[in-house]
Structures are given as C-alpha cells and as structure tokens.
Amino acid sequence: MTTKKRERLEVIRDILNKVKESKQIKPTRLLYASNLSPQMFKEYINELINKKFLKLEVDENEKKNFTLTKKGSDFLQEYRVIESFVENFGL
C-alpha cells in the first residue's frame, strides 16, 4: 500500500502539533515522531527556528528540548485557514 507523500505544509503542521502536544520534546524524539529523514528533519527544524515557530532550549544538564513559541502556536491556528484557502481556491 502506498501513502500520499506529505506536503511541506502538512509536515510543518505535524512537527508543530507534536511539540504542542508534548509541551517540550527532545530532538531525537521529535525526529522519530516527524517521520522524516535526519537531513530533511534538520532542514525543517532550521526553518522553523528561523521563522521563530520553535525554540531550542538547553537546560542546566545540557539537555536540548524544543518548545513551541507564540508565533508557532498562532501558525497552528492559522493552518486551518490556510488549508481551507488552498482547497477553496483549487491551489
């Protein structure tokens, strides 16, 4: 059985949703949850950090965790609107 390849927008939604659900999540766990190759994961994560959708926090034990920013949370809310726009305009 083949599954439809996720689009960029869907990948971003899935990553952000996972971080939102977990409140904070380790990079390795997010990589597994995202179902992406390490290379692709790195590209998406860099983009999401650059866009300030995600924040990488390092705690006192030098452990890294991703958290969702306000902008990332706003994006998740807007995602449905963007998705509806794309579908309604046949884009």
Nearer CB in complex with other proteins: 2/61: 2
- In angstroms, what is the minimal distance from the CB of 11 to other proteins? 8
Report in angstroms the alpha-carbon separations of 85 from 8, 10, 80, 91.
16, 14, 8, 8
List helix spans (H) across 2-54. Answer: 8-22, 27-34, 38-50
8 lines the binding site for other proteins (CB under 8 A): yes
81 lines the binding site for other proteins (CB under 8 A): yes
The number of residues that bind other proteins (CB under 8 A) is 18
Going by C-alpha positions, the residue among 50, 40, 42, 41 that lies closest to residue 72 is 50
Interacting residue ranges for other proteins, rule: CB under 8 A: 7-9, 12, 75, 78-82, 84-91
